[in-house]
Structure 1
Amino acid sequence: MGRVYGPNDFEEPGEFCSALAIGDSWFWYPNNNILQTLVRHQHTSGDHANIRRVGYNGALLQDYIGSGRYAKEVRHWLSPNFNDGFSEFYISGAGNDAVDYKLALKPNCTGITTPSACIDQAGMDELLRKVSEALGALIHNIRWAYRNDSLTRPIFIHGYDYPTPDNRGAGFASGPWLAPAMDAKFVAQDMALRFGIMKILIDRLNDEVFSQFDSDDNEIYHIDSRGTLKHFPDNHKTDWTNELHPTSAGFRKIFERHWLPVLAEHGIAK
């Protein structure tokens, strides 16, 4: 079993981190997350079971580039003195960007009964543009760090599954995130309508942003997790701890169905 190291943790004697993970709460959620599932899983190769993690809960993709609040940490680990040991990269982001951008909803959804009609199309386009721009810049910075190296290191982009906006928070002074954003825009208390809005958002992030970077030639891989976990109208609480984060079993389900096959192709898992 490996370990997830924080940005300021020292590696244990004899250990090294093969991956740099840059991401939000799906990489940081307490007790369990995608990275913890990866390093603990019996099929993860021992040579790839230690990960260096930067970012934080609530981080935006923009936080990792330019003058963003975690950009300095990213630059530190991509600098020549520290980047030599990384053979792969993991990126998770855009969920908090969407929440920060009020889910790209119209200012007032009163009386609206269809999910697409509640979306501010210009706002959605701007959200997707900003996410794509930040993700592209982050990928560029990773590739730039190894521009003189003949080895192309794979980059894995994590896509989200469909959350149900049921107004459940994390229980440690965090969240809920989705239901309050909808309440602020006067979205009707209709879970079918509210889930439909989230489905549109997740589909557009995956289809119009993440998948556009997917390229075998460039060794960039979009890990598409949609449709894995239960969601409205099913009993989604068996797979989701709250509005945004899966249970431990939910994270494992996503990892085994979607991450493992891709990682196995690169010798990261067996």
Structure 2
Amino acid sequence: MAKLNIFSSLLVNSKNEPGWGGYNWQFLAQGDSWFSTSTIQGRRSNLLENLDFPQAAAVVNCATPGDELTHMVDVRRDPLFNSLLCGPKQQPWNAIFLSGGGNDLIDFVKIAPTDEHGSFVVPHDRALLTSSEWGGGSADADSRYISKDGWANFENHMALQYRAIDALRKQSRDNQNTPIFTHTYDYATARNSGAGPGIGPWLYPSLRSYGIPPEDWDELVDTFMDKLFSIIKGAEQLLTNFHVIDTRGALDRAKDGDTGISGDWQNEIHATANGYVKIGLRFAPRVSEVLSIQPLGDGAGAIPQAVVAAQKPGGGAGATGARP
């Protein structure tokens, strides 16, 4: 097995651009902190840095910490990703890796019942209900604390974002049917654990501000993660050649009240390096299965240069020989 080699999108077409000829498989990645954040545990602390493939593979990474799916499809917010996928710098990619939806959910949960002017925000425009709007005491977390109308609005919004990603792909001369692989998110624990001064926590403040009893936090967050899974999985039905890898339950959960590293979690919403290893063990094998990536006979991991030179861009399920 060979570690995935990661290159910043800023290196493409620059004087520091690395050579690509020895990579059998070439991917393009877009996403949030699960693809881009490093921690004090060392370099291998996001998902891309913990992917192993049977052949040599490289990825051009456009991910940005805190990015939302909404911004990823905005040409003005991320022109380089769009250029590499369907614009002037496009080439045939073997696959597109996508990490998105988590920050969209977090921002939705953060919406307070009143805005900055003190005006009431209707339930249609927020994820959580106020105590006066809660369901009965016997209701589960979904029907007790989550706005039904607000969640329906969020589902529609997210479906539009996935359709926008598909529209970008269809604009490409080279990648109209390039497979997209995306992961889901695992069961976080709402707790006062950020990534540094002014960075998080993310869920904890909202649950506190809405007065939700702490004993119900785990169930509520699990419900959010399951509902987000349903949205992401639903995109598999909306789009062609779109593959969802269920990563729920891969991590050991953080303990309630812990403020530092706990279980497989670095902080409230980011995994430890070991946690990303566990997620990678679900992600990479699924990619290899769909793309039929098999170990090379010589076990060297890199395709012989004579073979690379003979291959044509877009010429089959294996390496394209194209340069990112």
Q: TM-score, normalised by structure 2?
A: 0.71
- Of the three residues 281, 285, 290, the one matched with 1:261 is 285
Q: SS in structure 1 opposite 2:98?
A: strand
What's 2:273 paired with? 248
- Of the three residues 154, 160, 164, the one matched with 2:185 is 160
**1:87-141 deviation per Cα after TM superposition (whole angstroms, max 9, x unaligned):** 1001111111111112611144798764220111111111222122112211221
Contact 1:25 1:56 in 2 (8 A): yes
Q: Shift of the alpha carbon at 1:144?
A: 2.4
Q: SS in structure 1 opposite 2:181?
A: strand
More helix by share: 1
What is the letter of the counterpart of residue 54 of structure 1?
C
What's 1:95 paired with? 102
Q: Shift of the alpha carbon at 1:58?
A: 0.8
What's 1:3 paired with? 5
Distance 2:198 2:89 in 1: 35
Q: Shift of the alpha carbon at 1:80?
A: 4.8
Contact 1:109 1:118 in 2 (8 A): no
- Please state if 1:74 is matched with 2:72: no
- Of the three residues 210, 213, 219, the one matched with 1:196 is 219
**1:49-68 deviation per Cα after TM superposition (whole angstroms, max 9, x unaligned):** 21111131111111022465
Contact 2:186 2:247 in 1 (8 A): yes
Q: SS in structure 2 opposite 1:18?
A: strand
Q: How does 1:59-208 map to 2 (within 5 A)?
A: 59-66=67-74, 69-70=77-78, 72-102=79-109, 104-108=127-131, 114-116=140-142, 117-146=144-173, 152-171=177-196, 173-190=198-215, 193-207=216-230
Pair 44,107 (structure 1): closer, same or farther in 2 beyond 3 Å: farther
**1:222-241 deviation per Cα after TM superposition (whole angstroms, max 9, x unaligned):** 01111111226699922111
Distance 2:153 2:267 in 1: 27
Q: Shift of the alpha carbon at 1:2?
A: 4.1
Question: Percent of aligned pairs with the same residue?
Answer: 25
What is the letter of the counterpart of residue 70 of structure 2?
Q
What is the letter of the counterpart of residue 67 of structure 2?
A
What's 1:226 paired with? 248
Unaligned runs of 5+ in 1: none
RMSD of aligned Cα (Å): 2.8
More contact order relative to length (CA 8 Å, sep ≥ 6): 2
Q: Which has the larger radius of gyration?
A: 2
Q: TM-score, normalised by structure 1?
A: 0.84
Contact 1:111 1:188 in 2 (8 A): no
Q: SS in structure 2 opposite 1:169?
A: coil
Q: SS in structure 2 opposite 1:62?
A: helix
